[in-house]
A = this chain, B = another copy of it.
Amino acid sequence: MAATSRRPIGVAVLGMGNVGTEVVRNLNDKAADLQARVGAPVELRGVAVRDLARPRGAVDSAVLTDDAEALVVRDDIDVVVELIGGIEPPRTLIRTALQAGKSVITANKALMAVHSGELSEAAAASNVDLYFEAAVAGAIPVIRPLTQSLAGDSVNRVAGIVNGTTNYILSEMDETGAAYEDVLAEAVRLGYAEADPTADVEGHDAAAKAAILASIAFHSRVTANDVYCEGISAITADDLVAAKKFDCTVKLLSICERIEADGVEKISARVYPALIPFEHPLATVNGAFNAVVVEAEDAGRLMFYGQGAGGAPTASAVLGDLVMAARNRVNGGRGPLESTYASLPIAPIDDVQTRYYVSMNVADKAGVLEQVAAEFAKRSVSIAAVRQEGAGESARLIVVTHRASDRDQSETVAAIEKMDSVIKVSSVLRLEGTND
């Protein structure tokens, strides 16, 4: 057993945005609690910022520096907390810190979704911690439950609402009936969406989190490029109204699933807006909240719910990681690092079994439904429900299918788009959270 030491733990924080500010405040305000929980004092010894001239509130100017490279290798630093965001310079800074024997905490999902492999290897080589609870679902404990609490179980599926911006937009559209563009503009104005909302609304942020969740759930390396991704920018107010008629709402889901295709066990990781039934636990997760449902062989279905973003909630996750990393500096040992022994291959979206919701503008004449139904039948895609609405030029046909391969479903839609009697396929969404 490692000998215990009571020397103080030196902390460096990189970045003083919302989260960084909260972390620094807590290190100060909760110093006595943190010391009691770690078993040694936890001292903030350096904060790297871009602009030294900018006032930083309560932070002692002596700890401020604009030289992050020098800070992360300093002898008096034990743990580095990276809150800059983006790939570089965080990637280089974290790797350098790990190689110098520092433990690292990061909230950087974009980085961990692509470079967790090399960073985890660097952590293993130095026998230090690399924690990233704050990278997925803010304050909600998800990474630690998956990597530790479920370490003896076999996870089959993780499905979550892990992007607050898109969930706010869809919740607002659902409640008010407003158009996507109007709700988005309002969200930007209120600060719920960034000025450039692309990463959120196109699903890239949710895809990065799906990659991280899939990697840890299935003990395999899954990167952001492996995740099939559709955003919410094509969702219309009509879709939300139509969803209600099928007792469903629409949510942007990050889904990680263990599937079997052609007799091979594979991982599907995907992000798309999907209809889910009102009674599904994720249906009532509204606004900026996040939730993650985990299905494991022995544990069954678990759900984790809470605030997925914001300075204080994210700082809570960072500080939890920080206490655990600091404890390990005191007591010896380290938490689990990347585990990729299962090395399952990635399934293309074609292999995934899903249900489709297809909304189309059709010619208002007899026989259209029959022709459309024939295209589904041709590819053995079974229809679960049909609605016909309107008349004349606004005649609309909505088809909801049973489960079939995404390949067969998408080929059917492509064929329908070519039909003379179909004016336009206006919307194609998937339906999740049912057993049919």
Q: Which residues of A contact B (CB under 8 A)?
A: 1-2, 22, 26, 30, 33-34, 36-37, 127, 133, 139-141, 144-145, 148-154, 219, 281, 296-307, 312-313, 315-324, 327-328, 331-334, 336, 339, 341-342
Tell me whether A152 and B319 are in contact (CB under 8 A).
yes
Shortest A331–chain B CB gap in Å is 5
Query: Binding site of A, secondary structure by majority: helix, strand, loop or mixed?
Result: mixed
Tell me whether B139 and A141 are in contact (CB under 8 A).
no
Question: With A1-B127, A148-B144, A149-B133 in contact, is A298–B313 under 8 Å at CB?
Answer: yes
Residues of B within 8 A of A151 (CB): 37, 319-320, 323-324
Question: With A30-B152, A152-B34, A324-B151 in contact, is A315–B298 under 8 Å at CB?
Answer: yes
Q: 15 extra interchain contacts, Cβ-Cβ under 8 A, other than A150-B316, A304-B304?
A: A1-B2, A2-B333, A26-B298, A34-B152, A37-B341, A139-B300, A141-B150, A144-B145, A148-B324, A150-B320, A281-B305, A297-B316, A298-B319, A299-B313, A301-B307
Shortest A28–chain B CB gap in Å is 13
Nearest to A153 among chain B residues (CB) is B316
**Complex Cα spacing A281 to B303, Å:** 12
**Complex Cα spacing A149 to B300, Å:** 22
Residues of B within 8 A of A331 (CB): 333-334
Nearest to A301 among chain B residues (CB) is B306
Shortest A37–chain B CB gap in Å is 6
Residues of B within 8 A of A298 (CB): 22, 26, 139, 312-313, 315-316, 319
Interface residue from B2, B140, B148, B324 paired with A2 (Cβ < 8 Å): B2
**Complex Cα spacing A150 to B281, Å:** 24
Shortest A332–chain B CB gap in Å is 5
**Complex Cα spacing A296 to B33, Å:** 14
Shortest A324–chain B CB gap in Å is 6
**Complex Cα spacing A298 to B18, Å:** 13
Give 7 closest A-B pairs by Cβ, nearest first.
A333-B333, A152-B319, A141-B149, A139-B299, A151-B323, A298-B316, A302-B306
Residues of B within 8 A of A318 (CB): 152
Residues of B within 8 A of A322 (CB): 152
**Complex Cα spacing A313 to B144, Å:** 18
Tell me whether A30 and B154 are in contact (CB under 8 A).
yes
Question: With A37-B339, A333-B2 in contact, is A304–B307 under 8 Å at CB?
Answer: no
Residues of B within 8 A of A133 (CB): 149
Residues of B within 8 A of A141 (CB): 141, 144-145, 149-150, 302
Q: Quick one: which of A33, A149, A219, A319 has the most chain B CB within 10 A?
A: A149
Question: With A144-B144, A303-B305, A316-B296 in contact, is A219–B36 under 8 Å at CB?
Answer: yes
Interface residue from B281, B299, B315, B341 paired with A316 (Cβ < 8 Å): B299
Nearest to A138 among chain B residues (CB) is B299
**Complex Cα spacing A140 to B296, Å:** 11
**Complex Cα spacing A281 to B304, Å:** 12
Sampled A-B contacts (30; CB under 8 Å): A2-B332, A33-B154, A33-B342, A36-B342, A37-B151, A37-B219, A139-B296, A140-B302, A141-B144, A141-B150, A141-B302, A144-B144, A144-B145, A151-B320, A152-B316, A152-B318, A152-B319, A152-B320, A153-B316, A296-B316, A297-B316, A298-B315, A299-B307, A299-B313, A299-B317, A302-B306, A302-B307, A303-B306, A327-B336, A333-B334
Shortest A265–chain B CB gap in Å is 13
